[in-house]
Amino acid sequence: MPGINVSIISIVVILNSLLIVDTSIDLVHSSLQQEVTIQSRGSILAENSFVDKIFFEYGGETGVLQPPWDHVGPMPEAPVSYAIVDTAHARSGTRSMKLYQPSPPKSDGQRRVSNRYYQTGYKEFYVSWWVYFDNLWQTTGWGSTLGGWQIFFGPSSTPYYWWTGGRFRIHSDRHVLFNYRFGKISGGVDFSAAGNAIAQTWDTNYYITDHLNQWIHFQVYVKFRADNTGVVRAWLNNVLVAEKTGIKTDPSGYGEWNNNPVDGTQCVWRVSEYPWIVIELYQHTDSAESWIWVDDVVAATEKVPANYEVADK
């Protein structure tokens, strides 16, 4: 009997040892990376600390654009332009989003291929996305706007009269620019001279023609504030190319908000008081036929790592 007890104890000890070893391996693995499934948007493999900071992501693996985008593609009256899920190029997974515009002349709707996510719920965040330009890429006129963050406002009768935002643009000379500015509808009056005074365009010293047939990483940051603590930043291939601090980025902080220059009333937001995410191919009506692919769109409250991928695991 004592011998049997010893054998049983030995077996138990051996089994427990194996279980302990297996458990320790699992714990080490889970502390380094975590797979998180987000409804209708595939899955994410990333470090735990960063996953918690994400509030929007899109990689095309579901094969659909909505959800999560609130607005997709051109205006309804411009069916020739489009935004679709495509398999020709993908940075992660097997799919990406293709934005296309036809040859000129284009309608106002056809020149605006824009995907937007309105309900960010944050006034301070980062937006990261990757763009693929093939060797047929071309742009004319004032160039091609690629997106970033934006928000519209105005009189209650025309809540899209003005906008402010920070967006990347490729000039017709192939230079990549970053624009931060206050804008207005065509032929309209400016919102605020003080707002215009802090606008700025940065030349990133990147020629897009030096980066064809490859994925390029764009990232922007906004701290949306009605006092002079606002911030805008932008990175290209993880290099800081634009920065402006100590500015009033929220138009509700300007005197014109309560006495706007159109009808003297208080301004209203077009959708909400939170800046939007916008990924787009926005050009002049006389611009050339063009297309781009977009993948791994991520918005988070922390800077998005350059090696981050959105894909269906």
Ranking 253-257, 274-278, 287-291 by mean pLDDT, the lowest is 287-291
- Would you state the pLDDT for residue 69? 96
Q: Using 50, 70 and 90 to split pLDDT, how confident is the model at 78? A: low
Tell me the per-residue pLDDT of 95-149, one tens digit each, with 9 for 90 and over: 999 999 999 999 888 999 999 999 999 999 999 999 999 999 888 888 999 999 9
Q: Which residue has the higher pLDDT, 26 or 200?
A: 200
- Would you state the pLDDT for residue 75? 63
Kindly list the distances between the CA atom of residue 85 and the CA atoms of 43, 81, 96, 215, in Å, as whole numbers in the listed order: 17, 14, 6, 17
Tell me the per-residue pLDDT of 22-75, one tens digit each, with 9 for 90 and over: 322 222 222 222 333 333 333 444 455 788 899 999 999 999 999 999 999 886
- Would you state the pLDDT for residue 17? 38
Distance CA 62, CA 51 (A): 19
Residue 202: name the closest of 226, 171, 230 by CA. 171
